[in-house]
Amino acid sequence: MTDYEPSLANSFLSFAIYFGAAVALTAVFILTYVWTTPHNELKLMREGNGAAALGLTGSLLGFVIPLALVISVSGSLMQTAMWGVGALLVQTVGQFGARLVLPSLTADIVAGRYSAAIVQSGVALSLGILQAACWTP
């Protein structure tokens, strides 16, 4: 065995651990998001509501953008988990804020209005990009 092989094994193990943590955090985010929104995105998507799918996708991207940055700059798995929870909280508060400013947001998404889903996605992506920009090593 060469010196390269143990390094490769360690790199793969590190990848697997961080990727698994990212998938777990993302699953927690999706469950939290679906639980905290007044409408059931999964049910609406099964019924063919594209606006619900777009809104959920935008929120998901708004979460994983800062999560990806945190993974690349954090010093530990614990930091990654901590900042991942922070990203979840920012996205959740952001969506509550969007619904306060635009009270018809939920009804519009349920009605399949893409304009509402675009705004919801825009809020989530903007928050995610700002979070990612603010987290530096």
> Counting every residue, how long is the chain?
137
pLDDT at 66: 96
Measured between alpha carbons, how far is residue 52 from residues 67, 87, 101, 102 in Å?
A: 23, 21, 19, 16
Q: How confident is the model at residue 3 (pLDDT cuts 50, 70, 90)?
A: low
Q: How confident is the model at residue 33 (pLDDT cuts 50, 70, 90)?
A: very high
What is the mean predicted confidence (pLDDT) over 120-129? 97
Measured between alpha carbons, how far is residue 84 from residues 39, 40, 107, 130 in Å?
A: 24, 23, 29, 14
Residue 91 has pLDDT above 90, yes or no: yes
Residue 136 has pLDDT above 90, yes or no: no
CA–CA separation, 93 and 28 (whole Å):
16
CA–CA separation, 110 and 93 (whole Å):
20
pLDDT at 64: 98
Question: pTM higher than 0.85, yes or no?
Answer: yes
pLDDT at 5: 63
pLDDT at 135: 80
Express as a percent the part of the chain with pLDDT over 90: 84
Dihedral of the alpha carbons of 105, 109, 111, 113, in degrees to the nearest 10: 90
